[in-house]
Every structure is written in structure tokens, then in C-alpha cells.
Structure 1
Amino acid sequence: MWRRGGRREESLVDRREVLQSSLLLLGEIVGNDYNHPFFAGQSIEEIQQYVSPVIGTIASFIKELIELGAVTLMVPGNLPIGCSSSYLTLFKGSNKEEYDPETGSLTWLNKFAEYHNELLRNELNLIQQPNPHATIIYADYYNAAMQLYCSPKKFGELLVHAAEGDDHTITTLRFYVEYRHQLLE
């Protein structure tokens, strides 16, 4: 560390050392990139057009971190959003063919998450090739979470659907439902 102008500042060498000795976990990045359009009533076809630019943004961020000195990065995939209580409530329908018989989740939303994850894994492989000194770990949140949805009793007590849960969840969901209806009018 060194000081300039009375402020404590890290040197580039110090920053590089921190990045080289750290595991960088990129947070669940894509939530709002997809949640807002879905809740606003955009079609799956429209939202699928966002996937490549979203993956491109994630890739740019990873490349920048590697250039700054990062050598170990963990990048999570998308969760099975078709199992999410907010999506199940928002897109509740009577067409049984839209639901996975094993989990009760919306299959079309889970296919969307799988599509995102496939593109992300492909991009991570492309980033890895010219950066063999870096370790890029894909965190498969999708399949980890699916184990919970496929065998919930194996992991503890079954909980009540979140739409019947706390006021914050219900209020947030009501906001999105009302917002979506206003946009569709």
C-alpha cells in the first residue's frame, strides 16, 4: 500500500497479488436481466434474444478480471427458474403439458435456463483456451437445485408455497403482477 495526496491507495502490484491469491465468485448475475422482462410480459422469444448479449457482458467482465490478475474464478449458471414460486404463481395455468410431472415446475422456463447455461458454458470454454493460467469453474446451480426439487423430502421438511408465505414475497409478487398488467393494457 502507498499513500498519495493523503489517501490510502493500493498499488497495481498489490491489487494483482490479491486477485492472484483469491477465489472470485461472480454473483448470480442474470437475475434482473431476465426477471424484469418476464414479469413485464415479454414473450420467451423476445427474452431469448437477450441471452447472447448477457453472456457477452459476463464474458467481458471475466476477461477484464483475468487481465487484472485473477486466476481462479467461479461463475454460476442460472437456477431452474421454472421451479421458482414467483414464476409458478405469475404464469399459473391449467395446461398440464407445461409442467414437469416430477417437480411441478414450468418446463418452458427451465428450458430457457438450460439454454442460458449452455451458452455460458460454451463461452467459459472459449475464455479458458487463451488463458490456460486461469482456472474458470462453472458452478452448476441448476442441477444442484434440481436435486432439491426432485427429492425434497430427502433434504428436510416440505415448506408451503412462497405465495402463501411472508408479506414481502406476496407484496413483491403483487407489484410485478400489477406492473405486468399495466404494461399489457
Structure 2
Amino acid sequence: MEVVEWDEGWEATLVVAARAGDLGAFDSLVRRYRPALVVLASQILRTRDQAEDAAQDAFLAAYAALPQLQDPSRFGAWLGTIARHRARRLAMGQRREVVPIDAVILSYTPALAEKAAANDDRKAIRCALDRLPGEILPVVELYYLDEWSVREIASLLDLPITTVKWRLHTGRKLLRNLLPDLEEENERELL
């Protein structure tokens, strides 16, 4: 295996290239410094998993802040400072709250948030429907899901219209108890 001499000039060249958007250059810096950062972080954190997390956080922070680095030849020292800071923050339990990407996306797109909420409502309704008694369920499904009329349901199930209406009434009452947060005006639309 050939050992390549690493010098500050080469490091500065990689930093300048990474600033210009060359991901390969930044990857070379990561491969060079990753083992050292994990060791550095493990001195503070004492567990390898946390040390690797701190090193990863340090690389992400360094990549984002790369344009702010004034002297590219000081990249190693600068990166070490970032890694120590991340490790200390992890050790003190002051890690920033991680927000799931779904929440970020939904916060910027109200239409998607509404769709997700409607989808959650549909799932809740499906679970509630599955809890309805056997004689009520087909009437409610045909009426709400398939949009059949009371007369069509009565004909299909060979039931009097009053029985179909009673089962719909009972089904709605049971669903309201099972789904108390569901708005009444959305009942038919969501079911």
C-alpha cells in the first residue's frame, strides 16, 4: 500500500476546491480527518457511537461553514475545534432538537400538510370502521365509501329502508364516539 505524504499545501488546495463545490475534494478531507475526529470526540464522549455522531456533525457543520474559513491551510485545526464543540454539546445533552424532515417539508407546504392530515383522518376512519358491528359495517361502507343511496343499499342487502336508515344512524353514532375529533361536516367527505 502506497503512503501519500499529506502537506498543508495539498490540504489548502482541497479546501479551495471544496469551497467551489467539488464534493470529491471534500470527501478527501473527510477520509483524511475522520479517524482523528472520532478519536478526538471519544476523549470527550467515551462511546464510539457518540464520537462518530459528533464527527459526522462536525463534518456537516464544516461543509456548511466552509466559505467562512479564512485560512484554508488551517482547515485541520478549524475542523478539530468544531468537532470538540459538537462533542461537548453532545456530552452536556445540549444537542439541538432534530426536526424530522417531514415536519420541515409540511411546514413549507400547507397543501401537503392538509393532504397528510386528511390521509391520517382516513386511516383513523378505516380503523374505526373495522370496529363497527358486522350488520352496521356494510351499510356504512356502502353509503360513505361507495356513495350508494339508502334505497340502493336496501335493495342490495334486501333490507327495509328504515333498517338501513337505523343502521346508518347507529353507525354514525358509533363513529362519532370512536372518532371524537372528526368534524361533522367532513364526515361524508372523509369516509
TM-score scaled by structure 1?
Answer: 0.27
Structure of larger gyration radius: 2
Higher relative strand content: 1
Higher relative helix content: 2
Greater relative contact order, per chain length (Cα 8 Å cut-off, separation 6+): 1
TM-score scaled by structure 2?
Answer: 0.26
